[in-house]
Structure 1
Amino acid sequence: MNQLDALKQFTTVVADTGDFKQLAQFQPQDATTNPSLILKAVQKPEYAPLLAEAVATHRGLPLDVVMDHLLVRFGCEILKTIPGRVSTEVDARLSFDTAATVARARRIMALYEAQGIPRDRVLIKIASTWEGIQAAAELEREGIRCNLTLLFAFCQAVACGQAKVQLISPFVGRIYDWYKKSAGAAWDEAAKSGANDPGVQSVRAIFNHYKKHGIATEVMGASFRNIGQITALAGCDLLTISPELLAQLAATEAPLNQALDAAAAQAMDLPAVSYDEASFRLALNEDAMATEKLAEGIRAFCADAVKLEELMKKV
């Protein structure tokens, strides 16, 4: 059995791509997208017609409306290929505006529903800022399920659990990147791989906390740099993986064992933790890695949203 099939015994496998033509071969349950992935996809010849069609059909409407139509069009195509859910992201430029995030999420969901897609097949992706988490809490109460992304710190995960969000996407590879870069020449790749990878350790701590305290929010590890990070998280609720790494897993026959175990977590001695806005902001500020990576991630998604708008203007 290859490692991809083995992983599916313990974990729901999700494809991290806007390239829906690649999906079928890996048979993922769910799929996630973000502005960067959609930007990458629409620059490929086979997807250019989707961009042209979205712009032509909605010409004259504000660019943000056209963008949401385009994102939903990709989401609908992805849903034809997978049995589960697709994640579609709210514009990252709204990451610090709770009311605007709620309004945008409602609009995206309305566009899906207009295409006959039920709410339970869509997750609205929102950055894990304090404002984003509060928006998600409000949306969840309305029955709009959320995926909180750009999650790097334990305090972000705790706040998401308090908000009763459906799912979180703690980032593994970007945490690894930060620690590797900050260590410089002192970095020991072998010593910091697998279960000792700082990104893997972050997700494991969140998973164990949730399972210990009966928090229903799903944990979906994201942003992987190598298959060792993925196999070290076998047993996580979900893992969202790029097509390149899915292909590597499918081509690898080495044995794969469950690494995370909800039952084992319940027996651990882990204190309950909660945050209000002030303590959340302080905890996030105390974590240099999470502070820098959250800001950097939002900047990158904002930049790609702008690039996507520029492409629309040229169609």
Structure 2
Amino acid sequence: MNQLDQLKKYSTVVIDTGNLDLIKQFNPQDATTNPSLVLNTIKSSCYKNLISNSINYAKKIGGTSEEIILNASNKISVDLGTEILKLIPGKVSTEIDSRFSFNKNLCIYEAKKIIKLYEENNINKNRVLIKLASTWESIQAAKELEKENINCNLTLLFSFAQARACAEAKVFLISPFVGRIYDWYLKNKLLKINSNYKDPGVKSVRKIFNFYKKNNYKTIIMAASFRNTEQILSLSGCDYLTISPILLSKLKSNNTIIDRKLFLPEINVSKKSKLTESEFRFQHNKDAMAVEKLSEGIRQFSYDQEKIENIIRKNM
């Protein structure tokens, strides 16, 4: 068996792309998208119909030109997600506008708009995960959405405080970013040992995994943002792993035997009060890497969202 097939015995494999041809090739359980992936997808001439269809839909709804652009943008993401769901047995993650990441009520409003669009496409909401940046406001929005059976994927997660707050909010799934943590330590010359067991991104996910399992939290851990296959294989046994097509290809072409790295610890639930907002902000703020990478990720997704809107604007 190749390494990808072996890995699937220990973890659920998710593909990190909006490219339908690549999804067909790798046959994953689930798929994830974000504004950057949506942007790359609609740049291809193969997907121009997504733009025209979304604009026609948004114009029928009406509103100001900016409202039409926002509605068309959501429609593109949902229609792409709908096509993806035709190719996979599981769920697709669709991200809300990252510019709403610090507004709980707007996050809830946008999430419900996206779910409504999926339902108009005859997609049940249980096949959709709403992606939100792991800010305090978005975590609280996810807490409310989960009560209405709208499952959420909390992304751009870098600190232990973020992970703990998500578990306490009973969100469906988190996406801790392995590679971006590694990038920060590399950039700041803080990597001392060249070993994936010492890789700060890998260590972060291992800590979250052990904490969740010992305390019997039901939130799924989906490690994301990998830079190499060694990082991936060091986390075999993690609940989910979302992997880019390039790294999936490398795993598929390698037949070296792999083994499981993460095992379920004994449950040992410790009673503790939930993080307050001030505790969350202080603990997250103590982690310079997490503060920088969260804000950077939100900025980058917002830039790509604006690029999507510019493409829509040019085609209106």
TM norm. shorter chain > 0.5: yes
Matched, 1:115 2:117: no
Structure 1 segment 19-30 matched on structure 2, within 5 A: 19-30=19-30
C-alpha distance in structure 2 between counterparts of 1:271 and 1:7, whole Å: 34
d(CA) in 2 for partners of 1:208, 1:272: 17
Structure 1 counterpart of 2:87: 81
- Aligned 8 A contact 1:193 1:229 in 2: no
Asked whether 1:276 is paired with 2:276, we answer yes
Contact 1:96/1:131, CA 8 A, preserved across alignment: yes
SS of corresponding position for 1:117: coil
- How far apart are 1:253 and its partner, in Å? 1.0
- Aligned with residue 151 of structure 2, among 128, 145, 150: 145
Shift of 1:273: 7.3
Which residue in 2 is equivalent to 1:164? 170
Q: 1:2 to 1:119 in 2, by over 3 A?
A: same
Letter in 1 for 2:118: Y
- The answer to whether the 8 Å contact 2:213/2:267 transfers is no
What residue number does 2:262 align with? 260
Deviations 1:100-139 (A, max 9, x none): 0000001100111111111110000000000000000000
Residue equivalent to 2:4: 4
Letter in 1 for 2:125: R
Q: How far does the alpha carbon of each residue in 1:257-313 deviate from its partner, in whole angstroms, 9 at most, with x for none?
A: 101111xx2268989674110000000110000000000000000000001000001
CA shift at 1:95, angstroms? 0.2
Shift of the alpha carbon at 1:218? 0.2
What is the correspondence of 1:27-66 to structure 2 with a 5 Å cutoff?
27-59=27-59, 60-61=62-63, 62=67, 63-66=69-72
Partner in structure 2 of residue 210 of structure 1: 212
User: What RMSD in Å do the two structures reach over aligned CA positions?
Assistant: 1.5
- SS of the aligned residue for 2:293 comes to helix
Change (3 A) 1:269 1:111: closer
Residue 15 of structure 2 aligns to a residue whose secondary structure is strand
Gaps of 5+ in 1: none
2:13 is paired with a residue whose SS is strand
Alpha-carbon offset, residue 196 of structure 1: 1.5
CA distance in 2, matches of 1:182, 1:120: 41
Structure 2 alignment gaps of length 5 or more: none
Distance (whole Å) between structure 2 residues aligned to residue 181 and residue 269 of structure 1: 37
Task: Select which of 243, 246, 254 maps to 1:244.
Answer: 246
Kept in 1, the 8 Å contact 2:215–2:268? The answer is no
- Provide the C-alpha distance between the structure 1 equivalents of 2:182 and 2:236, rounded to a whole number of angstroms: 18
Q: Secondary structure at the match of 2:164?
A: helix
CA distance in 1, matches of 2:223, 2:172: 14
What is the letter of the counterpart of residue 118 of structure 1? N
Letter aligned with residue 310 of structure 2: E
- Match of 1:58, SS state, is helix
Other structure's SS at 1:235 match: coil
Residue 135 in structure 1 maps to residue 141 in structure 2: yes
Matched to 2:110, the amino acid is R
- Tell me the distance in 2 between the aligned counterparts of 1:8 and 1:158: 27
Structure 1-normalised TM-score?
0.95
- Alpha-carbon distance between aligned partners in 2 of 1:253 and 1:274, rounded to the nearest angstrom: 45
**Which residue is equivalent to 1:232?**
234
- Judging changes above 3 Å, is the alpha-carbon distance between structure 1 residues 97 and 269 closer, same or farther for their aligned structure 2 residues? closer
Q: Deviations over 1:61-104 (max 9, x none)?
A: 52111111110000000000000000000100000000000000
Count of matched residue pairs: 309
Contact 1:234 1:259 in 2 (8 A): yes
CA contact under 8 A between 2:236 and 2:262: conserved in structure 1? yes
